[in-house]
Amino acid sequence: MLSPSHERDSCYIAVHAAAHEGKWERYFDLVSNVMADYEGRPHWGKRNPLDADALRKLYPRFDDFLGVRDRLDPGGVFANDYTDRVLGPVAVPAPEK
């Protein structure tokens, strides 16, 4: 559901930068802007500047994936700051009364 090539023909272009060299955020932002012109989908699990709202527009089954995540990890055990940004926070169910 969250494969960059899901339901379309695709070509992969890998872009890498060493985090310890600095300035990788600007580099990735520039690449992201170029890729957006071609409806590129960054791999959601790798460094990218997009958030959940932006990725939802690129991945047709984004909300289907979130439904699976909510069912399999309802308490957000596997969530972290990064997944909160790219997938949105886990909808923790209210305690039953």
Confidence tier at 94 by pLDDT (50, 70, 90): low
Is the model more confident about 47 or about 34?
34
62-90 core/surface letters (b: 16 or more CB in 10 A; e: else)? beebbeebeeeeeeeeebeeebeebbbeb
- Give Cα 39 distance to the centre of its chain: 15
**What percent of the chain has pLDDT above 90?**
55
Specify the pLDDT at position 28.
85
Give CB contacts under 8 A, 24+ apart, made by 16-20.
Answer: none
